[in-house]
Amino acid sequence: PVVYTFDWTSIPSGFTSSLATPTVFPTSNTQYVVLVTDPITGCTKNDTILVEVNPIPSVAVNPTSANVCSPGGTAAQLTASGDPADYAWSPAAGLDATTGAVVNALPSTSTNYVVTATTLAGCTATASAQVNVTQGPTVNVTATPPSACVGSDIQLEAIAITSGYSMNINCSTGF
């Protein structure tokens, strides 16, 4: 078998190789030129290829941190922005959608959501937002007496307990 020689160069300059299949890591559009030499005949042939380099998209999430209450809280709205791209969110748990620039998050436990922005060229970048879940208070309501005649006083009492403290609200009302 004939063992050809390969001489690679680039435009802009800065790359050279004698391998048949070199690996390149361009940071901008680069034209690569290879000169192939037949060692028996001395004949040469060259060819070129232009490698286009697409930028990594910029992506951010607003807010980067949010708090929601569970159960029964209001979802946190997370908004991805940056370069034009398709947005995919993960994990899916607690989200109202997994694609799009805007999602609403109401997870059952604190969750770090990651959005991946993908450009038409297939380049990707990620950003994240932490959604923290706090438990709402436990509420117990009583009425003394639980039933009464019109015009009688009824004592209402609400007790809210959360995170080691309690709140006692007493209201007396007549009907």
46-86 tens-digit pLDDT: 999 999 999 999 999 999 999 999 877 899 999 999 988 89
Over residues 104-130, mean pLDDT: 96
pLDDT score for 84: 86
Over residues 146-170, mean pLDDT: 76
**Secondary structure (H, E, C), the chain:** CCCCEEEEEEECCCCEECCCCCCCCCCCCEEEEEEEECCCCCCEEEEEEEECCCCCCCEEEECCEEEEEECCCCCEEEEEEECCCEEEEECCCCECCCECCEEEECCCCCEEEEEEEECCCCCEEEEEEEEEEEECCEEEEEEECCCCCCCCEEEEEEEEEECCEEEEEEEEEEC
Residue 23 has pLDDT above 60, yes or no: yes
